[in-house]
Amino acid sequence: MKLIIDTDPGVDDALAIALAHAMPELELIALTAIFGNTFVEQSNRNARYLLDLLGAEGVLVAEGAKLPYGADTYEPSAWVHGKEGYGDIEDIPQVGANTPETAAELLVKLTADNPGEVTVCAIGPLTNIADALRLDPTFGQNLRELVIMGGAYECPGNITPHAEANIYHDAVAAEEVFASGMPIRMVGLDATMKTLLTSDDFAEMAESSPKAGGFVDHISQFYLQFYRSVGVTNGCPMHDSTAILACAYPDKFEWKDHGVAVVQTGEEIGDTVAADRPNTKVALDVDADWAVTFVKDAIATLD
């Protein structure tokens, strides 16, 4: 299955990209960078740095939106992912080159060239996806499926009591995407707060895969520390990797079909609520033991 990851790397994004690269079931064709965990220039640089570290050749990279719709500034979550997005690592070099297209242009082009064949996995705010829809309203008909890491059904939010971070960071874009009628799987906190990795899990990855696993282990120390500081002491959620797993193994999840809208104002802004509109498949649960083992086994196949 051809896969584009729209991403804001970001610690858990890096693991998700390494996972997708390690899975023979998935053909990773592009990364489109978005603001979120970092400024978009950093996400873009981090995406290319990781592809180089993984030896992933032929994966296109394009830079996307700098700001949420209607905003003129943006402050990344440096306390969660580190100042540069990769934990305590600074001076991340610029390697490789982008395609000439913007993220939205590349999303439209690759899906139009391969109608019905490309899954897009969006693991950051949804501005690039909404930009692609604004650029070409047929975008949603050309992709196979959009798998979103974002939102929450019964679970409380993680950036506010009501909202999950990716949806919260551009509630306008998220609303446009959920309203579009394109086929969507929403992998939100109900599933991703169950797929926890411990420091022992990361140490195993570093041992089985010194380069890729070692890098993930290193940057995840900062992320683990953030989760400890907010009272999650039994590991850190692999939010974005869980969405990658849903692209290839939806049968390992429990889904509910219902329309989703995004609250646009007030203290519940960014909440994902039920609406009378085309259905999204919302993940209520996942086989978390399977997911953790799968990810560790996949990373063990890398250098």
Active site residues: 8, 239
Based on CB atoms, which residue is closest to ligand BDR, 79 or 290?
79
* Run of H or E including 134: helix 127-135
Residue (of 19, 9, 7, 5) closest to 223 by Cα position: 9
Within 233-252, the residues that bind ligand BDR by CB under 6 A are 239-240
Interacting partner of 132 out of Ca ion, ligand BDR, none (Cβ under 5 to 8 A depending on kind):
none
Only one of the segments 218-226, 236-244, 257-265, 279-287 lies at the binding site for Ca ion (rule: CB under 5 A); that segment is 236-244
Determine how β-strand 60-63 pairs with β-strand 253-258: unpaired
Residue 5: strand, helix, or coil: strand
Contact of residue 165 among ligand BDR, Ca ion, none (CB under 5-8 Å per partner type): ligand BDR
Residue from the set 3, 5, 10, 126 that interacts with ligand BDR by CB under 6 A: 10
Q: CB of 151: closest distance to ligand BDR in angstroms? A: 9
Q: How many residues bind ligand BDR (CB under 6 A)?
A: 15
Give the tokens for residue 139: 């975008």
Could you say which of 44, 158, 195, 220 contacts ligand BDR (CB under 6 A)? 158
Q: Residue 59, exposed/middle/buried by CB under 10 A (0-12, 13-18, 19+)?
A: buried
Q: How many CA atoms lie within 13 A of 189 on its CB side?
A: 20
- Tell the smallest beta-carbon distance from residue 242 to Ca ion (Å): 11
Task: Name the token pair of 143.
Answer: 């992709």
3-state helix, strand, coil in the chain (%, to 5): 40, 20, 40
Among 32, 98, 166, 280, binds ligand BDR (CB under 6 A): 166
Interface with ligand BDR (CB under 6 A):
10, 12-13, 37, 77, 80, 123-124, 149, 158, 164-166, 239-240
